[in-house]
Structure 1
């Protein structure tokens, strides 16, 4: 037996929202549980080399949060519709299609399917803990597996461990998985990037500003730096999501600033971005925000973050030369 299978149940979901089951979101508690599991896997050097997830909202977000927390690429997650509401036979078929060279596979899904699969592979009923829950939310089951998954039979696996996020520290090590400082969020949350979107029309510089997600004030696109992306790539991703724009992000930042959030200091590198494409309102998923092209002087007045104002001014001076 040289392969491993990790079964991860989705995090705690939010039943307060009146949505269909497939679209039910995670509670904050569910997100943190997934992230704690990701950090634990990184600390144990148990990162998967192949990840499959149900596309249901609560499952795919669990998968993404877990993978990012271990420094992985969430874009590599394979969404598989058959995992949603699957029985054992359907899950076995999904596993049979996993590339044979994948040695450690993570399957993110739902109960009762995951519990039934775990017991099928073990070949017998797995004793329940004192709370009567075999795989509660955001819990990981690690199973030793044979090389060939094409025709798995009952008892082909060997249960190695069942790990719950409730057994872990509620905070996250900083600046990496070995850090002794503990923070409210995973370490990568505290390094962020932003863009100053610009264009030149009739020799005049224009800056795009967007409304904050709750439409309380004007901002520039900004977000957490994705572990698998560079600061520039992360900034471009935020610009596409928050402002519905694409373009060329400069190699070097024009400045940086810090602000307090999640119990510590976040650092933001700010990059100029020449806008080359503006998505239509229909294409732009976050079009509820609103966006506007302004002169640098108007943009300086609009944006709330004081540290951005001199950066906008400096960029305008450079572009006018």
Structure 2
């Protein structure tokens, strides 16, 4: 059994003369990311691998989660920046099978499209620092496409207030 946590980066800022890729987290994002990570930990969620878009706001969000989990196993994957749904699938198919609990950090709109394609739940829009979780009924990430995906939960920061 594999577990997949899909995380949209936390709220970001857009300072003048800053490229999209280089946008940092806002003060709210810096509050929400550790809060969401702590919430998952309190639920007993395990994460043994962190995979992120290399964009500054996604990596920063990922680092907050990795710090909470005392795990520095972070991999930056270029195709998760402005990813289309198939980019998520391609990334998942490359995950090593020694990792059973994986978190992917990326951006909208592709992230929301991908999450909604995995479930019949009415998730709609994934807000910043939203987390959707799935149990993937397989022993190998390479079987992800054909494996049964079971929706577990969907949380976002305003639900935790």
Which residue number in structure 1 is paired with residue 70 of structure 2? 72
For the Cα contact (< 8 Å) 1:12–1:29, is it kept in 2? Answer: yes
Q: TM-score, normalised on structure 2? A: 0.90
1:136 to 2:124 alignment:
no
- Deviation (angstroms), 1:154: 7.1
Aligned mates of 2:113, 2:76 — CA distance in 1: 21
- Deviation (angstroms), 1:106: 0.3
- Deviation (angstroms), 1:105: 0.6
Mean Cα deviation higher: 152-161 or 75-84: 152-161
Which residue number in structure 2 is paired with residue 240 of structure 1? none
- Specify the SS of the correspondent of 1:51: strand
Aligned mates of 1:45, 1:127 — CA distance in 2: 24
CA RMSD in angstroms, aligned pairs only: 1.8
For the Cα contact (< 8 Å) 1:3–1:144, is it kept in 2? Answer: yes
1:95 to 2:86 alignment:
no
Structure 2: gaps of 5 or more residues: none
Which residue number in structure 1 is paired with residue 106 of structure 2? 109
Structure number with higher relative contact order (C-alpha < 8 Å, ≥ 6 residues apart): 2
1:46-85 pair list within 5 angstroms: 46-68=45-67, 70-73=68-71, 75-85=72-82
- Specify the SS of the correspondent of 1:150: helix
For the Cα contact (< 8 Å) 2:136–2:144, is it kept in 1? Answer: no
Select the structure that is richer in strand: 1
Aligned mates of 1:111, 1:15 — CA distance in 2: 16
Select the structure that is richer in helix: 2
For the Cα contact (< 8 Å) 1:139–1:163, is it kept in 2? Answer: yes
Deviations 1:56-113 (CA, angstroms, capped at 9, x unpaired): 0000000001221x2413x321111111111111111110111112111100111112
Aligned mates of 1:61, 1:45 — CA distance in 2: 23
Structure number with larger C-alpha Rg: 1
Which residue number in structure 2 is paired with residue 24 of structure 1? 23
1:11 to 2:10 alignment:
yes
For the Cα contact (< 8 Å) 2:9–2:129, is it kept in 1? Answer: yes
- Deviation (angstroms), 1:151: 4.5
Structure 1: gaps of 5 or more residues: 170-321
- Deviation (angstroms), 1:155: 7.7
Aligned mates of 1:119, 1:168 — CA distance in 2: 22
Deviations 1:144-164 (CA, angstroms, capped at 9, x unpaired): 112233243378312111011
Aligned mates of 1:76, 1:154 — CA distance in 2: 27
Aligned mates of 2:146, 2:114 — CA distance in 1: 9
- Deviation (angstroms), 1:114: 1.4
Which residue number in structure 2 is paired with residue 156 of structure 1? 148
For the Cα contact (< 8 Å) 2:130–2:154, is it kept in 1? Answer: yes
